[in-house]
Structure 1
């Protein structure tokens, strides 16, 4: 048991060092640069170098305890920044996964639907123009319209304020339509009996999604530096764009792995729950039997 606890502690320490402290030290260093250079000299490397030389000369004669206190302060600041980035990342996850039941999510969803309608109308007009044009110009218009139609087919109809929310709502609706089962209610039981390989796949996808959300939190912290150093806004915008792209990819992977786990192990869940069903029963009938069993167990007052 002691060896197990030691191994777990080592992995936690490594994860903390990689995801919090190192990223936090980079932000702290950027914050120091931002304060020293300011808006008036945003890229004055010579000014920064002169300040670093001055700091090195002043600290050279000081005791080792002063150096240790400086290092400890930097590490504490990095840890605090990392915790702040993690909290902001959690807020981003709630924002991305919002259902759009009320404002402002419903407003954003309506705007996305209107934008999709406008794109569909432009695609239809492009197809109509390609029919009336002859020669190379008509072929180019038709090819452009075809690519636009392909993008539309690959992009699901907006069901929430964000594309990431569409991904998660999509897998939940497909599971309910295919099996008559609420994914939110069945997933904790299904997760408990998953074999090691699919569990690792789901965990890896979730960690990638969490990392993307945390990166979005760092983007806000870098953007905050724009108060004293305007390049912070450019850095924050670039980091946020990267975080959104990664989050979309991670959400797609997470949704796919979760849906695959349901497809492959729903029968195992029925057996472990003691739900009886005919051998030739359809997947929908088996899923509805599981749903009734869970509803009876949880009680009518539970969600």
Structure 2
């Protein structure tokens, strides 16, 4: 047992250092460089070098106790920044799933719908133009190419007309709607904790990995936001922050798609197991079984 606990503590410490402290120390290093460089001479690294040389000349800096205290302080500060980013990541995940009923989420949803409607109108116009050219017997290769380009432009905006302020929220909404229509789960949030207990370990492990990937992407989004904050004092931090945000967005969409697919798979394959565990009679269809499960679990 002692060996197991020691191994577990080592793994947790490694994860803490990798996920929180190391990125936090990097951000602190960029913060220090920001304070020494500034906006007027953002690449005057000789200033930073000269400042480090002045610090190295102090005798106290070379004392072992001081070095150890400085190392501990840097690790603690990096960990504190990492914890802050973890909180920002949780906030980002909540923002991704906002319903869009109230401002400013409602404004973003409205803007996304306007873009989708304009892209749909351009696609419809391109299709009508290709049909008309074909009816006249003209060459439609250029018109067909335009149709394909308009289709790709609309696909980049999402798989359907937006129903949430973000594309990630759209994916969650599509999952909830599919589960409601196909499996009869009117309230997936109510059923999911019970369904989780009947899932096999392999599927639960895959869902956990996908869920952790989504959280990691949200934390990466938080790091990008913190680097953008530093750009107020050192503008090269802006492209770094934008790059981190772009990577976080791509990763979040990928992990969310995977997570949603796994949730739908779990509901499709194991809703009957949950129904049997609840002692419900056999239903005529998966939707009917889902409605019975929801009614059984509903507090009303």
TM normalised by structure 1 equals 0.90
Match of 1:165? 169
Q: 1:151 to 1:38 in 2, by over 3 A?
A: closer
Task: Please show how residues 147-226 of structure 1 align to structure 2 within 5 Å.
Answer: 147-149=149-151, 152=154, 155-181=159-185, 182-226=187-231
Match of 2:144? 142
**For residues 94 and 29 of structure 2, what CA distance do their matches in structure 1 show?**
30
How far did residue 100 of structure 1 move? 0.9
Q: Tell which deviates more after alignment, 50-59 or 207-216.
A: 50-59
**For residues 136 and 71 of structure 1, what CA distance do their matches in structure 2 show?**
75
**For residues 22 and 7 of structure 2, what CA distance do their matches in structure 1 show?**
21
Structure 2 gaps of 5+ residues are none
**For residues 251 and 13 of structure 1, what CA distance do their matches in structure 2 show?**
27
Kept in 2, the 8 Å contact 1:88–1:214? The answer is yes
Kept in 1, the 8 Å contact 2:171–2:260? The answer is yes
Q: 1:59 to 1:255 in 2, by over 3 A?
A: farther
How far did residue 131 of structure 1 move? 4.6
Question: Aligned residue pairs: how many?
Answer: 295
**Superposition RMSD in Å:** 2.1
**For residues 66 and 99 of structure 2, what CA distance do their matches in structure 1 show?**
52
Match of 1:122? 122
**For residues 23 and 12 of structure 1, what CA distance do their matches in structure 2 show?**
16
For residue 162 of structure 2, give the secondary structure of its aligned residue in structure 1: coil
Q: Tell which deviates more after alignment, 44-53 or 205-214.
A: 44-53
**For residues 289 and 89 of structure 1, what CA distance do their matches in structure 2 show?**
36
TM normalised by structure 2 equals 0.91
How far did residue 151 of structure 1 move? 5.8
**For residues 292 and 84 of structure 2, what CA distance do their matches in structure 1 show?**
44
Match of 1:83? 83
Match of 1:69? 69
